Amino acid sequence: MIPQKTVEELIIKHSSLEKDLASGELDKKLFAEKSKEYSDLNEIIVNAKNYISFQREKEELEKILNDSSGEEELKKMASLELDELQNQYDLNEKKLKLFLLPKDEADKKNAIIEIRAGTGGLEASLFASDLFKMYEKISQKKKWSLELISISRSEAGGLKEVIASIKGSNIYSTLKYESGVHRVQRVPDTETQGRVHTSAATVAVLPEAEEVDLKINDSDLRIDVFRAGGPGGQSVNTTDSAVRITHVPTGLSVSQQDEKSQHKNKAKGMKILRARLYELERTRIDQERSKDRKTKIGTGDRSERIRTYNFPQGRVTDHRINLTLHKLSEFLEGEAFDEVIESLTLQAQEESLSNLK
């Protein structure tokens, strides 16, 4: 049960923000901050007020039920109202608990997605390409902006590795559950016996960090420049435009050579490095906070097998929530993606709520 005082404070805060915003005395920055806070509270304020009024309404209905001289029809109506009131109370309580859960500030950030072919040779690279196409289609449907950062193709026309930046609204909160090992079971084009092969690709989704999120000292960076190389050792240009940036304290290293400009390669490399360092720090803090418990829903372990795409059976299975959809083709087109993400989000919220008890 949520303390009544906690809910009352939300109502008071909402009223105070309303007055501040209507006063016309706030500067532009403060007005924007308070508007955001007010907007967030607006989503829950009706639930908060109903939660507070529950006890009073419940007592009034119970008086009718306990009145020995009351009409039976009136008591029947009161009983139905009481059941409905209790159901609404339970719903309000759950919504308030979710609202009061500690917020992950990264949820509203843009994301950097890294896809790499895993076990399975050329077939794994083809699967990595399929996954990237899936995320491209999801981005198009959601009107997100996807910008390619770097790409490395395989001989079969697949992808050894691809890194992209995705911008839009609440990107990380939607895509964070994609991190991990994605497994595919299908008959490769090169298979003459019709046998099903298993291959894999890894996906890492990182919140895109801004400079204000993370301070990187220039003295901690070692920057090497070299000549970009193409397939088979072929030189793709004649200048030292490729860049390797190493963060000396952590040993993290990023190489970038897709652009012909050294300056552009460095900027892209720093974007990836900043995201990886930010995620490293977030992981360290999360581990310290949750030493005594393990969550079932993973959001960052690249070694965790999270999903299987089975082509012969036309199914996709998410192993973290034991959810199977016989909609593989729709899923790869981005059609059934939200169905899985909503289930994952709900499960993660349920776990967070159970940890509050």
Q: DSSP labels for 165-215?
A: EEESSSHHHHHGGG-EEEEEEE--TT-SS---EEEEEEEEEEEPPPTTT--
Dmax over CA atoms of the chain, in Å, equals 98
Q: Are strands 252-256 and 242-247 parallel, antiparallel or unpaired?
A: antiparallel
The answer to whether residues 204 and 324 belong to one domain is yes
Asked if residues 180 and 307 have their Cβ atoms less than 8 Å apart, the reply is: yes
Residues 6+ positions from 93 with CB-CB distance below 8 Å: 1, 2, 51
CATH number at residue 123: 3.30.70.1660
Task: Name every residue whose Cβ is closer than 8 Å to that of residue 228 and which is 6 or more positions away in sequence.
Answer: 235, 236, 237, 241, 242, 257, 260
Q: What pLDDT is stored for residue 212 in this prediction? A: 67
**Same domain, residue pair 55 and 176:** no
Query: What is the model's pLDDT at position 194?
Result: 82
Closest-CA residue to 133 (of 156, 168, 107, 164) = 164
Is 202 found in the same domain as 306? Answer: yes
Domain that holds residue 181: 106-209+298-356
Together in a domain, 91 and 145 = no
- The three-state secondary structure class of 288 is helix
Which residue, of 289, 311, 333, is where some domain finishes? Answer: 289
Amino acid letter, 332? L
In angstroms, the CA 109 to CA 90 distance is 32
Angle at alpha carbon of residue 216, lines to 212 and 220, rounded to 5°: 175
Which residue carries 């403060």 as its tokens? 30
Quickly tell me which residue has 């109370």 as its tokens. 89
Is there a single domain that holds both residue 200 and residue 223? no
Residue 55 carries which DSSP code?
H
> φ, ψ for residue 85 (rounded to 5)?
-65, -40
* pLDDT recorded at residue 294: 46
Backbone φ and ψ for 133, nearest 5 degrees, come out as -60, -35
Q: Tell me: do 235 and 348 sit in the same domain.
A: no
Residues 6+ apart with CB under 8 A from 50: 88, 89, 92
Domain count, the chain: 3
332 and 193 in a common domain: yes
163 and 21 within one domain: no
Q: Looking at the structure, tell me whether residues 200 and 309 fall in a common domain.
A: yes
Same domain as 162, residue 120: yes
What is the pLDDT, as a whole number, of residue 10?
94
* C-alpha atoms less than 13 angstroms from C-alpha of 55 in its C-beta half-sphere: 5
End-to-end CA distance of the chain: 9
Whether residue 341 is found in the same domain as residue 315: yes
Q: What is the pTM of this model?
A: 0.71
Q: Name the stretches of the chain with pLDDT < 50.
A: 231-235, 292-296, 298-300
CB distance 138 to 337 below 8 Å: yes
Boundary residue ending a domain (53, 80, 100): 100
Amino acid sitting at position 222: R
- Domain termination residue (choose one: 289, 307, 334): 289
Strand pairing report for 305-310 and 180-186: parallel
Select from 235, 239, 270 the least CA-distant residue to 255: 270
Task: Please tell me the predicted confidence (pLDDT) of residue 250.
Answer: 92
Distance CA 75, CA 288 (A): 55
> Residue 106 has what pLDDT?
85
With a CB cutoff of 8 Å and minimum separation 6, the contacts of 74 are: 64
The pLDDT assigned to 60 comes to 92
Residue 113 C-alpha from the chain's centroid: 11
Q: Which strand (E) or helix (H) includes residue 111?
A: strand 111-117
Asked if residue 110 and residue 96 are part of one domain, the reply reads: no
